[in-house]
Structures are given as C-alpha cells and as structure tokens.
C-alpha cells in the first residue's frame, strides 16, 4: 500500500521516498517529512517541538494553546490572517468580504488511480493511488480538496487542489496554487530554467537565503520561465545528496515560490500565476488547479532527473508514439524558409531519404498568402502555386519515396492580412478601446470562444483526414497581450487543451511536436498531447549542450526535438564539426534542418554513415537511463544513456586547452563483472578545416585558399582516431585512458585531433 492513514497520521510511500503529515489538535495539517524513505514508527522525532514561542508570534487560539503559532509550523496548506505570514497558497475573498480564511481537516478518502480532472490534462493514473483530504473553512462552507496521487515506481507524488464553494454568497479567488510544501531548511540551492528565444533552458542556480525566490511566466509557460524547479540540499551533486524536483502539468502562466522563513522553514508553492487573477466561484461551483509533480531523490540531481524522466515517459506522454523511437526527420524550414515549390520539396525529401531520413516535414508557408510572416496565418487553403497537387499530392509523393509526411500548423494565431481576419476580426484577442500589440506581425485567436475552437478543430482535422499526415508540428510564435485578466489566460489554456484533445485524442497514430518560437512552451501540459517539443530554434551544438542539458534536469531526451543544421551556425556564427552537431542531436528526437546540397559530397557520405549508426543507438539515446557526468572541467560536457545491453557516452570539448595530451573518460553504471566491447563512432575530419597545417603531414604545401584544397575537401576526409576496447565493466569504470590528443608536437594517425567543439561518441555493448 502506498497510502496509509491511521489516527490522523497520513503516510505516502514511493519506492525511495516517504511523505508524512498529521492532523494537529486544531485540525491543521502539520507536515512531518518529505524525503528519504523511512520505516513506519513513532514520528515524534519529526515534529517541531512547541514548548514556547518567539516574541512576535501571533497565537492561533491563546486560550486553548498559548504556543500554537501557525508561522512556526510546517503545514500542508495555509490560509490567510491567522498568524502564518509566509507565502500563502490561497487568497480568497470570503462571503464576509474579508480575505481571512482558515482550512481545517474535514474528512479524507483513498481512491485507486488518479481521479479525473474536469478542465485540465493530468497524469494517466494507472496503478497509482490517490489520497483526497477535504478541508473546510473554520467559518464558511467553503471546501478545499487536496489531492495526493502516489506513483510508487517513479518516485513521484502529484498534488493538486480543488476549491468548492457551498456558501450562498460567491467567493472571489485572487490566487489558488496547486500545492504548498513546507520543508526544513537544508541550505538549498534553487535551480530553474530560464532566459530567452534561442537561449532556452539555461540553468540558473541561486542559493536560498531568507526571503523568496520566484520562478514565473506571464501568458503561457515561456522561454523566460519554464515551470520546473529543483531544490538541492547543501552538498548535493549530480550523483549524491538530497534533491527535490517540482513541475506543473500546465502550459499557462505559472508561478513557483520558494521562501525561507525566519523560523527556518522552507515553503514551496506552485500553480497558476496569480498575475491579474480574479475568478468568481458561485454556490455549487468548483475551481481546479493544475496537477503539480513532486519528486525527491537521495541520488543527487541525476536521481531527480531519472525520476522525472520515467514519470514523463510512463505517465505524461501518451499516444502510439509514447515509447516508440522517433523517426529521423528532415524539416524544410532552414533549407527553404518561405521559398519553395513542390519540386524543390521533393528534391529535399529525396536527398533526405538518401541520407537515411524517415520523415519529411513541410514547415511554414504552405497556405494562403503565406510568403512572408506578415500574411496568411489563420487560413488553411493550400497555395496552389507552391503545391499544384495540394498537400495530398505532396504527401503521396513523399510516401512513394518511402518516407512519412509531416506538416506544420500555427492554429492559435492570425495575421491581419488573412481571409480569416477579414471575415472575423473579433476572433482575435484585442481590447475594443485600445490599439492592439502585435508579436511577429500576428494576433492570437481567442480560444475561450467556442466558434474559434470549432474553426481550428474542423480545419486542422480535415487536413489530417484527407492527407497522409503522420506527424504534426504545432507552432505558436508569440506571447499573449491585450488580455482582460488572469482568469482569461487560464480559460485560454483550457480552450487550447480542448482543441488539442478534439484533434489528437481520436488520432493517436499522429506524432505531435509542440513548438513555440523554439522551446517557448516546453512543459508537461504540452507533453500530455505532444510526444516531443522543439527545444530551440538554436541548433548550434555548443548552445544545445546547455539547452538540452538544462532540459534534461526535468524532461526525458525523447521529448526534445534536436536537429543537425549547417555550420557556421545561422545564429551564433560558430563553426562546429559535423560529428559534434550529429552527436549532440543524437541525444534528442533527431532530425536534419538543412539542405543536403549545401554539404560537400564527403560530408553527405559521412552524415549518411552517422544516421546509419544512429539507428543502432537511437533507442538507448532517447529512452535509456540518462545521466549527466561531472567531469570537473567546465569545458568538457559528458552525457550518458544506458539501456539494458548498451551504453552511449557523449563527450564534448567546448574549449580545447593547449598541452593537454592525456585524457580520461569516466563511464558509470556498468556491471563490474560483465564484459563489454567499446567502440568509438566515426568522427570525420574535413581537410579544409586544417588549412596550411596540412603541410605537416603532407609532402607538399597546400595553401588554405587553393582550389586544390577545396577540391580535395569535397571528396576526401581524414578520420579522428577511434578508440576500441574489450574489457570488464569494472575496468572501463576505472576510467578509459584515451589515445593522445594533438598538441602541436607531431602527427600520428593514432591520435585525437580534438580541437574546440570536438566530440567523442562511444558505444559500449555488453557481450
């Protein structure tokens, strides 16, 4: 049993964690423990003692208990105005017009699975168990249901709250979070993912000092604030120590607060952002919050990540593609942008096929007057000049090449220059008395309106049912403006989920990739519908190490769209080796974002070889047990993915130091007793990159600008030395001493020419 209740003590157990709370004499719920698994026993040592209180304490009921001060007690939920001055999870104007509220235990029940939510997507339940604790305000018939769903194997407890108004008078919600969790202070470091377009998911670490750290976004979950957050106790590393993780199954605007109070307690609250939020609840109405996902690991950040990865793969992502290896795709966006014709697309598809791609994706620009980003959004009529045989004709031709066909949509937005906007200007979100604010020249359609949702569902569904479409990329390229209030933003998200449900639930065979100007809406709400999300428009592998590495804290590799593009890179101008672009994208839902005709023949041949290798490691990379390996060197990033018989190790040198000729690679998680074969994936070196340095290994001098060098570069390559060993797991885990790196003292074909941005991909197979 993962949930047990006895004498007011509530106990939730996962495989590696225990969560305990107990009713106090007044009926509040006192948190006793969330963390390391502990056996059943007397919890007295887990309770804060209350012999006396501090000088500025507000006493809850002085006559009944002169030292009972809510500010000093770790609580499962807290009200307002009764002496707890920490961040409240709720702000509600009660029937008497005041914000004072005080929720006390009323009843509880345990259900199997996860009780169905009415408005929002949720985890899938299955063999989980749910504890529902009902609390009632001390004065008014206003009820609060706290849901705790326990996923034992994944080490996850999800929490959410529902407010029910049984009072005759309406109540007004100003703020209603999904959970509130109080922990003891352990000198935590708070980790969040933040920043901007093409720089998504950067890891931000802040020590928690007295006061509050806020992680939030406005509108929907955004580049500038992913809803996920981690708390690492003092001393925790990638592999050791206590780490808590928090996320939300929600794509709307969110807020998570972490507060360290004077009493040495840490309160975490998370849920819908209270920004401009006003929600009236009449008698008999209920408000449900998004489901929050909590995990704890004593195995460091990797332990936390692995819990989240298993949970997302097993309980969040669904549909036929839930656990299927993602097809290798070629997307036409960076190859063509808006300029294409059927023939050019088919040429691209054919070339992709030759390289080993399995899916061709037609991105933006196929409909209406969409020849730039200033027109066409909102319309669904195919551009007959570009696609004389329509989408159906293109799809069939792509299928005949032996590839699946995928299509881009951006259904939530509208350009003024579109037939839809001319017909229904009132469908766009704008205020009647103010000039609208545009983003990427477009407005957002009001998904709170049924006729707007119907329009999208009908048009997208019609295309999906008449064309052979196996994959959809659902884009959303602007932030919300001109909204009325936070309640509208929440209703928009509910409308958005309804649209996704109506389109994709009946078509589970479609692989859906979410996208919002890159990784602007990378969240668990999306992942209840989309099996993968485009992680960023930035495909520079060195930037992707940060983006995918950051995302890997909370999301599995299978969910991250990652493509190989051209170098120098279009946003960073960085010139990275093809092998590194490939190796980093291999830790993702892999694809190509380039025109193969911009590669030399030998680059194409090399890429084809890499894609061939990828098919042999893709399952491990996408669904294996993923870990970030600490290297101790800020310029060496190492990841590892492990399936039953195979381990894939990626090692990237972001900056190559001079005179470092001995390198050691550490591998983890092998069986010490078993024997393994290790081989390094090919790492081609294209000769033009060496310029006149070639004179050191050739009998003649070739100028870096000579035609000869360019001609040679087209057809010939050198190869970095490829490591290969057969050894026990114990020996490999003792550190693999690599062949020497080039440091300018000579050349041998048994050395690594590992300069800046170079990488090494190792495949270790159990024999």
Q: Could you list the active site residues?
A: 475, 537
> How buried is 396 (Cβ within 10 angstroms: 0-12 exposed, 13-18 middle, 19+ buried)?
middle
Least distance CB 129 / ligand DGJ (angstroms):
40
Q: Is 361 in the site for ligand DGJ (CB under 6 A)?
A: no
* Segment contacting ligand DGJ by CB under 6 A, of 43-51, 297-305, 399-407, 515-523: 515-523
Radius of gyration of the chain (CA): 28
Q: 763 is written with which tokens?
A: 């495949």
- Residue from 390, 411, 518, 624 that binds ligand DGJ (CB under 6 A)? 518
How far apart CA 465 and CA 451 sit, in angstroms, is 21
Between 242 and 475, CB nearer to ligand DGJ:
475
Q: Nearest residue to ligand DGJ, using CB? A: 364
- Residue from 16, 216, 523, 537 that binds ligand DGJ (CB under 6 A)? 537
Q: Is 540 in the site for ligand DGJ (CB under 6 A)?
A: no
For ligand DGJ, the binding residues in 610-639 under the rule CB under 6 A are none
Between 342 and 571, CB nearer to ligand DGJ:
571
Between 407 and 621, CB nearer to ligand DGJ:
407
How far apart CA 394 and CA 415 sit, in angstroms, is 26
Least distance CB 593 / ligand DGJ (angstroms):
8
How far apart CA 620 and CA 289 sit, in angstroms, is 36
Q: 67 is written with which tokens?
A: 């030292």
* Segment contacting ligand DGJ by CB under 6 A, of 10-18, 228-236, 461-469, 513-521: 513-521
* Segment contacting ligand DGJ by CB under 6 A, of 418-426, 512-520, 667-675, 681-689: 512-520
How many Cβ atoms are within 10 Å of 361's Cβ, its own excluded? 28
Q: Is 363 in the site for ligand DGJ (CB under 6 A)?
A: yes
Q: Is 526 in the site for ligand DGJ (CB under 6 A)?
A: no
How far apart CA 742 and CA 739 sit, in angstroms, is 10
Between 93 and 370, CB nearer to ligand DGJ:
370
With b meaning 16 or more CB within 10 Å and e meaning fewer, what string describes 646-685? bbbbbbbbbebeeeeeebebbbbebeeeeebebebbbbbb
Q: Is 517 in the site for ligand DGJ (CB under 6 A)?
A: yes
Residue 735 gets the label, from left (phi > 0), alpha (psi -120 to 50) or beta, of left
- Residue from 84, 475, 595, 603 that binds ligand DGJ (CB under 6 A)? 475
Q: Is 543 in the site for ligand DGJ (CB under 6 A)?
A: no
Size of the site for ligand DGJ (CB under 6 A): 11
Between 287 and 367, CB nearer to ligand DGJ:
367
In contact, 375 and 369? CB cutoff 8 Å:
yes
- Residue from 13, 16, 364, 412 that binds ligand DGJ (CB under 6 A)? 364
Least distance CB 338 / ligand DGJ (angstroms):
8
Point out which residues pair with 308 in neighbouring strands: none
In contact, 94 and 142? CB cutoff 8 Å:
yes
Least distance CB 359 / ligand DGJ (angstroms):
15
Residue 459: which of 402, 420, 433, 417 has the closest Cα? 420
Q: Is 79 in the site for ligand DGJ (CB under 6 A)?
A: no
* Segment contacting ligand DGJ by CB under 6 A, of 120-128, 176-184, 493-501, 514-522: 514-522
How far apart CA 180 and CA 166 sit, in angstroms, is 23
Point out which residues pair with 514 in neighbouring strands: 474, 533
With b meaning 16 or more CB within 10 Å and e meaning fewer, what string describes 447-479? bbbeebbebbbebbeebbeebebbbbbbbbbbb
- Residue from 534, 582, 623, 690 that binds ligand DGJ (CB under 6 A)? 534
Least distance CB 536 / ligand DGJ (angstroms):
8
The packing angle between helices 578-586 and 601-623, to 10°, is 20
Between 356 and 518, CB nearer to ligand DGJ:
518
DSSP string, 565-594: --SS-TTT-----HHHHHHHHHSSEEEE-S
Q: Is 524 in the site for ligand DGJ (CB under 6 A)?
A: no
Q: Is 477 in the site for ligand DGJ (CB under 6 A)?
A: yes
- Residue from 333, 366, 367, 471 that binds ligand DGJ (CB under 6 A)? 333
- By three-state DSSP, how is residue 500 classified? helix
Site string for ligand DGJ, 391-420 (x = CB under 6 A): -----------------x------------
Binding site for ligand DGJ (CB under 6 A): 333, 363-364, 408, 475, 477, 515, 517-518, 534, 537
């Amino acid at each position: 049993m993962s949930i047990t209740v006895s004498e007011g003590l509530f106990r939730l157990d996962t495989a590696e964690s225990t969560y305990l709370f107990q009713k106090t004499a007044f009926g509040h719920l006192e948190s006793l423990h969330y963390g390391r698994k502990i056996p059943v026993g007397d919890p007295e040592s887990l309770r804060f003692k209350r012999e006396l209180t501090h000088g500025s304490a507000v006493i809850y009921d002085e006559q009944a208990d002169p030292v009972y001060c809510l500010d000093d007690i770790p609580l499962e939920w807290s009200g307002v105005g009764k002496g707890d001055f920490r961040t409240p999870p709720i702000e509600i104007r009660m029937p008497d017009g005041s914000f004072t509220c005080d929720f006390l235990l009323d009843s509880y029940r345990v259900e199997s699975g996860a009780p169905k939510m009415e408005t929002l997507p949720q985890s899938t339940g299955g063999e989980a168990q749910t504890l529902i604790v009902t609390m009632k305000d001390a004065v008014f018939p206003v009820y609060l249901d706290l849901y705790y769903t326990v996923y034992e194997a994944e080490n996850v407890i999800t929490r959410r709250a529902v407010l029910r108004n049984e009072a005759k008078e309406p109540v007004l919600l100003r703020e209603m979070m999904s959970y509130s969790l109080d922990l003891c202070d352990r000198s935590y470091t708070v980790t969040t993912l933040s920043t901007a377009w093409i720089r998504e998911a950067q890891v931000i670490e802040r020590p928690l000092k007295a006061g509050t750290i806020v992680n939030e976004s406005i509108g929907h979950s955004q580049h500038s604030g992913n809803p996920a957050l981690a708390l690492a106790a003092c001393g925790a590393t990638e592999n050791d120590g206590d780490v808590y993780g928090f996320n939300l199954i929600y794509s709307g605007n969110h807020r998570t607060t972490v507060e360290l109070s004077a009493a040495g307690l840490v309160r975490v609250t998370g849920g819908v952002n209270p920004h401009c939020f006003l929600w009236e609840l009449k008698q008999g109405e209920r408000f449900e919050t998004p489901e929050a996902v909590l995990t704890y690991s004593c195995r460091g950040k990797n332990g936390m990540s692995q819990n989240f990865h298993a949970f997302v793969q097993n309980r969040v992502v669904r549909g036929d593609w839930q656990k299927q290896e993602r097809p290798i795709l070629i997307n036409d966006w960076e190859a063509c942008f808006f300029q294409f014709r059927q023939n050019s697309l088919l040429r691209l598809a054919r070339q992709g096929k030759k390289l080993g791609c399995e899916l061709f994706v037609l991105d933006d620009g196929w409909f209406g007057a969409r020849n730039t980003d200033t027109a066409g959004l909102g319309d669904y009529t195919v551009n007959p000049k570009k696609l004389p045989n329509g989408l159906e004709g293109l799809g069939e031709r792509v299928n005949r090449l032996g590839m699946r066909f995928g299509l881009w949509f951006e259904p939530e937005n509208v350009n003024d220059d579109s037939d839809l906007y001319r017909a229904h200007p009132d469908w766009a979100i704008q205020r009647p008395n103010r000039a609208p604010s545009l983003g990427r020249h477009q407005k957002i359609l009001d998904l709170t309106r049924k006729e707007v949702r119907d329009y999208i569902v009908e048009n997208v569904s019609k295309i999906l049912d008449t064309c052979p479409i196996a994959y959809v990329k659902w884009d959303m390229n602007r932030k919300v403006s001109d909204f009325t209030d936070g309640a509208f933003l929440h209703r928009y998200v509910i409308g958005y989920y309804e649209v996704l449900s109506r389109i994709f639930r009946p078509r589970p065979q479609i692989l859906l990739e979410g996208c919002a100007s890159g990784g602007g809406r990378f969240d668990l709400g999306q992942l209840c519908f989309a099996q993968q999300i485009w992680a960023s428009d930035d495909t520079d592998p060195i930037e992707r190490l940060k983006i995918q590495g950051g995302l890997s804290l909370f999301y599995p590799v299978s969910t991250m769209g990652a493509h190989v593009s051209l170098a120098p890179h279009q946003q960073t101008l960085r010139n990275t080796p093809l092998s590194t672009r490939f190796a980093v994208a291999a830790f993702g839902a892999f694809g190509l974002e380039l025109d193969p005709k911009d590669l030399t023949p030998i680059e194409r041949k090399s890429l084809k070889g890499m894609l061939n290798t990828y098919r042999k490691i893709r399952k491990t990379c996408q669904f294996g047990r993923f870990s970030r390996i600490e290297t101790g060197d800020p310029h060496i990033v190492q990841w590892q993915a492990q399936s039953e018989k195979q381990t894939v190790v990626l090692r990237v040198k972001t900056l190559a130091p001079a005179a470092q000729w001995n390198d050691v690679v550490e591998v983890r998680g092998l069986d010490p007793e078993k024997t393994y074969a290790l081989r390094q994936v090919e790492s081609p070196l294209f000769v033009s990159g060496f310029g006149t340095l070639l004179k050191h290994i050739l009998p003649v001098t070739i100028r870096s600008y000579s035609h000869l060098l360019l001609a040679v570069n087209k057809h010939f390559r050198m190869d970095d030395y490829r490591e290969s060993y057969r050894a026990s797991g114990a020996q490999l885990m003792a550190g693999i001493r690599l062949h020497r790196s080039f440091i300018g003292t000579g050349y041998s074909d048994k050395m690594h020419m590992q300069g800046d941005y170079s990488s090494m991909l190792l495949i270790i197979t159990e024999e």
